[in-house]
Amino acid sequence: MAAQAKTIIDDMREPRLSELQAGALAAAAAHPVTITAESVLEAARAETGLSDFGDPGFRVRLETWVASIDAETDLTALARAGTYADMVRFAANRLRVEDAIARHPEILDIVIDRPLIVAGLPRSGTTYLQNFLGADDRLRSLPYWEALRPVPAGPDETGDPATDPRYAKAAEAWAQMDAMLPYVKAVHPFDPDHISEDIELQCIDFGSYYLEWGVPNHVWTDYYWNTDQTPVYRYMKRVLQVLTWFKGPNRWLLKCPQHMEQLPALKTVFPDATFVINHRDPIGSIASAVTSLAYSSRVRVDRVDPGALAAYWIPRYEKLLRACVRDRDAIPESQSEDVYFHELLADPMGIVARIYAKAGLPIDDRLRGRWQAFLQDNQRGKHGALDNDLRRDFGLDPAEVRRRFQFYFDRFPVQVEVK
């Protein structure tokens, strides 16, 4: 198959807005939202008819989210409205989680058995690997439509994608996002069937690094780094128990790049897990991430500043990778497998065989056939690809940036990609 031409975002600094983008920005500006912690909680109560949020410890995190949004004065009204809607959704999901447990306390007796947990840099193949592994129906994974609203809110929300209105809502939301920002799918598709990161479940406790991807400032980041994230992971496990009660099995496939910097917390909460840690040249990952963020910024901020994005995310990557290097040996070799991006691209079946050996999962011909079908249907670049160039778009020398990550190359045999 001939290599597909990559798309260059040639209006990154001075976006040429589409009619849809301009209209959405104008409509949001005409109806700005005021965000407070109490307005979020009240909207969630009104949506669900419920009032018990459970352990109130999440409220300080919710208030810090609000402070982070307020600190980012350049956010568009559209971005504020979208973030507010997400916050209400997370709070409403929390109410439904606590309601399910109150009605069925036996949920908390469910064992989350030896999960497979994929960690790794953004854009290092974690999404690809997770969806590959998700072809195994012995593992419980979380499709995006279910991740958005994990607890059924009524008898019509049956869990069957053919009839569940949650699926239709997710499909509609994805169609709107695709129309608004059509290059997003080249980076990370959000179609309803796509297996989601479990970060959506951490957000129900208003934890994780989720907020940074939309509101990159240090108010939330400083709080996050100075606060033990173990309670957030414990709450995520609580949500997994609820989800398992509605539909098993109880052996989960989880994934989030953030896990790379939270290995001790994960090991505490999921002591019998198998950890899969993806590695890639940080420069390739950074270039991809900041390019996609700069592209989507045209509807998120009043003035797109690619340099500021790079200035935020390069040291943020360094913190993530230093945490991984520091904590990697906390995970026993018998429970972990390091996966390198170039090896995953060259031999995905071999990589998966290594992971399954560590996890104690047998592989049969039926599963091999499902994996082969996935490979055939999900070739790299299926949705196109963006041309990520740190020199052209960010004025950065890749070799110079790479020097600050020498500690990572010293620890892991990562292949240099970007010269």
pLDDT tens, N- to C-terminus, the chain (419 residues): 334 578 999 999 999 999 999 999 999 999 999 999 999 999 999 999 999 999 999 999 999 999 999 999 999 999 999 999 999 999 999 999 999 999 999 999 999 999 999 999 988 888 889 988 999 999 999 999 999 999 999 899 988 999 999 999 999 999 999 999 999 888 877 889 989 899 999 999 999 999 999 998 889 999 999 999 999 999 999 999 999 999 999 999 999 999 999 999 999 999 999 999 999 999 999 999 999 999 999 999 999 999 999 999 999 999 999 999 999 999 999 999 999 999 999 999 999 999 999 999 999 999 999 999 988 887 765 556 889 999 999 999 999 999 999 999 999 999 998 77
Distant-in-sequence, close-in-space partners of 338: CB < 8 Å, separation ≥ 6: 277, 279, 412
Strands 274-279 and 336-340: parallel
On the question of a cis peptide bond just before residue 413, with omega within 30 degrees of 0, the verdict is no
Within a domain: residue 13? no
**φ/ψ (deg, to 5) at 385:** -150, 145
At 3 the pLDDT is 46
Calculate Rg over the CA atoms of the chain.
Answer: 21
CATH number at residue 34: 3.40.50.300
Within a domain: residue 148? yes
Within a domain: residue 230? yes
Work out the widest C-alpha separation in the chain, in whole angstroms. 58
Q: Into how many domains does the chain fold?
A: 1
Within a domain: residue 245? yes
Within a domain: residue 4? no
Domain extent for 34: 19-411
- Count the neighbouring beta carbons within 10 Å of the beta carbon of residue 247: 11
Within a domain: residue 255? yes
Within a domain: residue 343? yes
d(CA 256, CA 239): 16
d(CA 142, CA 338): 23
d(CA 142, CA 116): 13
The letter for the amino acid at 3 is A
At 382 the pLDDT is 59
At 2 the pLDDT is 39
Distant-in-sequence, close-in-space partners of 63: CB < 8 Å, separation ≥ 6: 37
At 381 the pLDDT is 56
d(CA 22, CA 25): 5
Distant-in-sequence, close-in-space partners of 226: CB < 8 Å, separation ≥ 6: none
